[in-house]
């Protein structure tokens, strides 16, 4: 069958461009071993085998043997569409035992498998490159021991912020810059929705810079977490807050705590006589949680003497004394 008579499916969602040269090398070495599926003889639109067809074109072929062509005219149009998607997707699900694959490849003495996209040879890296990769993984390139105080935490400068609204970080990328004015960005959402600000901090600087202020990430301090894990999450929150402040953002420290032993570190690095933020989400209907919240908030007031508290969620009757309290409704990004 002439390749020029075969029509690629115009809505093929899979991008095969990078694979085509490797498949071409495989066909050159081993011949065309797989088949190509077309809708029918009358309508030779590709169902599966897009990469094989493109690889054959790259090799300069003008025809494909009839024995390598299958027709799917026993399927309905809807089944063809579903099969086309399933055939592409199922290939993504399979995984490799990398150690076993590496040994198999290395056992082949007469083949350069890098031609087919498999290269397990060690690559020379400049001295110190691996250490730099580790530094970036722990964000030591933006916050290190030198940036921390005697308590071991990076300091966050005091601020005086009282935004009209608080908006969850999960809306930050989709909100135009002009619509962020007058708003603060909070992280009183599930951790998985903002873990990326830790793994890729530089990427989100521009996204956050449009807000009047940004609250430090509320990485969870669950009661059943080991103290070391709670301390790590508190450190990450402070480190990002310090980094953002050094890059020109107005940063409001978020207060969070767990059992009393967490008081030994959960307020470190947070400035006194400043605006701070906290949340009562998930506390209002749980008496035990309320007791923990009241205890920790009393400790925060005592240690930090904040000038203002941005309270996200229901006011559960805590006496903040002479401290100004600005309340924000939880859910979505509601104002005061």
User: What span, in angstroms and rounded, lies between the C-alpha atoms of 132 and 145?
Assistant: 16
CA 82 vs CA 76, 91, 98, 144: distances in Å: 10, 15, 31, 52
Residues contacting 22, CB < 8 A, separation 6+? 115, 116, 117
User: What span, in angstroms and rounded, lies between the C-alpha atoms of 258 and 241?
Assistant: 20
Answer yes or no: is pLDDT of 333 > 50.
no
Answer yes or no: is pLDDT of 123 > 70.
no
DSSP string of 92-161, one letter each residue:
HH----HHHHHHHHHT-SS--GGGGT---------TTHHHHHHHHHTTTTTS-GGGB-TTSSB-------
The pLDDT, as a whole number, for residue 313 is 94
The half-sphere exposure of 176 on its side-chain side, counting CA atoms within 13 A, is 2
Residues 64-119: tens digit of each pLDDT: 999 999 999 999 999 999 999 888 777 777 777 777 777 787 777 777 777 777 76
Mean pLDDT, range 193-211, rounded to an integer: 95
User: What span, in angstroms and rounded, lies between the C-alpha atoms of 43 and 55?
Assistant: 21
- SS3 annotation, 297-328: HHHHHHHHCCCEEEEECCCCCCCCCCCEEEEE
Residues 203-228: tens digit of each pLDDT: 999 999 999 999 999 999 999 999 99
Answer yes or no: is pLDDT of 121 > 70.
no
The pLDDT, as a whole number, for residue 159 is 96
User: What span, in angstroms and rounded, lies between the C-alpha atoms of 298 and 282?
Assistant: 18
The pLDDT, as a whole number, for residue 107 is 78
Mean pLDDT, range 247-269, rounded to an integer: 96
Answer yes or no: is pLDDT of 253 > 60.
yes
Sheet-wide strand order for 275-279: 275-279, 308-312, 324-328
Mean pLDDT, range 35-63, rounded to an integer: 94
Other CB atoms within 10 Å distance of the CB of residue 76: 9
Q: SS3 for 163?
A: coil
Percent of the chain whose pLDDT exceeds 90: 75
Q: How confident is the model at residue 122 (pLDDT cuts 50, 70, 90)?
A: low
Residue 268 contacts residue 238 (beta carbons within 8 Å): yes
């Amino acid at each position: 069958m002439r390749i020029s008579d075969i029509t690629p499916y115009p809505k093929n969602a899979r991008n095969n461009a990078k694979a085509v040269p490797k498949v071409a090398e495989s066909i050159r070495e081993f011949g065309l071993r797989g088949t190509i599926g077309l809708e029918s003889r009358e309508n030779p639109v590709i169902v599966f085998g897009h990469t094989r067809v493109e690889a054959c074109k790259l090799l300069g072929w003008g025809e494909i043997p009839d024995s390598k062509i299958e027709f799917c005219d026993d399927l309905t149009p809807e089944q063809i569409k579903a099969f086309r998607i399933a055939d592409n997707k199922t290939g993504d699900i399979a995984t490799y035992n990398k150690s076993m694959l590496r040994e198999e490849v290395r056992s082949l003495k007469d083949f350069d498998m890098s031609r087919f996209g498999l290269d397990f040879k060690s690559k020379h890296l400049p001295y110190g490159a691996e250490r730099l990769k580790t530094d970036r993984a722990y964000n030591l390139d933006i916050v290190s021991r030198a940036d921390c105080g005697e308590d071991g935490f990076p300091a966050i400068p005091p601020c005086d912020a009282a935004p009209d609204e608080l908006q969850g970080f999960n809306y930050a990328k989709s909100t135009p810059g002009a619509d962020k004015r007058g708003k603060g960005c909070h992280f009183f959402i599930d951790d998985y929705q903002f873990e990326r600000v830790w793994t890729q901090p530089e990427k989100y600087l521009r996204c956050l810079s449009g807000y009047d202020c940004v609250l430090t990430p509320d990485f969870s301090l669950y009661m059943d977490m080991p103290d070391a894990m709670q301390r790590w999450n508190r450190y990450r929150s402070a480190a990002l807050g310090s980094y953002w402040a050094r890059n020109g953002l107005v940063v409001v420290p978020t207060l969070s705590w767990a059992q009393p032993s967490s008081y030994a570190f959960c307020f470190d690095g947070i400035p006194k006589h400043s605006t701070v933020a906290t949340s009562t989400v998930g506390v209002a209907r749980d008496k035990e949680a309320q007791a923990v919240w009241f205890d920790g908030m009393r400790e925060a007031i005592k240690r930090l003497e904040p000038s203002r508290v941005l309270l996200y969620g229901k006011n559960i009757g805590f006496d903040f004394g002479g401290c100004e309290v600005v309340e924000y409704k939880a859910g979505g990004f509601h104002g005061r």
